[in-house]
Amino acid sequence: MPRYFFDVHDGRIQRDDEGTVCTDLQAAATAAKRLLPEITLNELPRGGERQSYTVLVTDEEGQPVYSAALSFVGMWLIR
């Protein structure tokens, strides 16, 4: 089974040097989609009102194969 790497970009790059074995590309895309909410669960409360997170999935040769992003925008409605 192929190994995919999930690099996280959130203003800085967190490289995935270990990777994850997935059955196929669709499974890797699903893993990326699940990773984003897990990351933001702890990061959003302390990061301000505008944040964006991207997961770049690469294959074993280092070729990008999938990208997923999640953006957060908070806005105060009182003055």
Mean pLDDT of the chain: 92
Task: Answer whether 54's CB lies under 8 Å from 9's CB.
Answer: yes
CA distance 48 to 31: 26
pLDDT of residue 45: 65
CA distance 11 to 29: 22
**At CA 38, angle to CA 33 and CA 43, rounded to 5?**
125
CA distance 62 to 79: 49
Average pLDDT on 21-45 reads 90
pLDDT of residue 47: 64
Each residue of 36-59: pLDDT tens digit? 999 888 777 676 788 899 999 999
